[in-house]
Chain A
Amino acid sequence: MATTNSRTLARLMLLPSVILLLAWMIVPLCMTLYFSFIDYNLLVPGEKEFVGFLNYEFFLTDPAFFESFFNTLYLVTGVLLITICGGIGLAILLDQAIWGRNYVRIMVLAPFFVMPTVSALVWKNMLMNPVNGLFAHFAIWLGFEPIDFFAQIPLLSIIIIVSWQWLPFAALILLTAIQSLDREQLEAADLDGAGPFSKFFYIVLPHLSRAVTAVILIETIFLLSIFAEILVTTSGGPGYSSTNITYLIYTQSLLQFDVGGGSAGGIVAVIIANIVAIFLMRLIGKNLEG
Chain B
Amino acid sequence: MGSITLKQVTKNFDEVNVIKPLDLEIKDGEFIVFVGPSGCGKSTLLRMIAGLEDTTSGNIEIDGVDATKTPPAKRGLAMVFQSYALYPHMTVRNNIAFPLKRAKVSPAEIESKIANAAKILNLTDYLDRKPGQLSGGQRQRVAIGRAIVRQPSAFLFDEPLSNLDASLRVNMRLEISELHKSLATTMIYVTHDQVEAMTMADRIAVFNAGIIEQVGTPLELYKKPVNKFVAGFIGSPKMNFIDAPQNENANVSCIGIRPEHLTLSTEQGTWTGTVGVIEHLGSESFLHINIEGKGTVTVKADGDCPLKYGDSIFLSAPTDKILKFDKDGLTIR
Contacts and interface: CB of A to CB of B under 8 A. Distances in A.
Nearest to A192: B99
B134 to A, nearest CB: 14
B102 A187 contact: no
B316 interface: no
A198 B81 contact: no
| A-B interface, 7 closest residue pairs, ranked by CB to CB distance from nearest | A193-B73, A192-B99, A188-B85, A184-B85, A193-B102, A206-B89, A184-B81
Contacts of B78: 191
B79 interface: yes
B98 A192 contact: yes
A191 B79 contact: yes
B50 A191 contact: yes
12 contacts: A182-B85, A185-B85, A187-B81, A188-B81, A188-B146, A189-B98, A191-B50, A191-B73, A192-B102, A192-B146, A202-B98, A290-B132
Contacts of B51: 190-191
Interface of B: 50-52, 71-73, 77-79, 81-83, 85-90, 98-99, 102-103, 132, 146, 150
A190 B72 contact: yes
Interface string A196-214: 0010001100110100000
B314 to A, nearest CB: 53
**Which size class do A's interface residues fall under?**
10 to 19
A194 interface: yes
B50 A203 contact: no
A193 to B, nearest CB: 4
A187 B143 CA distance: 13
B89 A207 contact: yes
Given A191-B50, A206-B89, A290-B132, A184 B83 contact: yes
B145 to A, nearest CB: 12
B275 to A, nearest CB: 47
A198 B303 CA distance: 58
Given A182-B83, A182-B85, A202-B98, A193 B52 contact: no
B52 A190 contact: yes
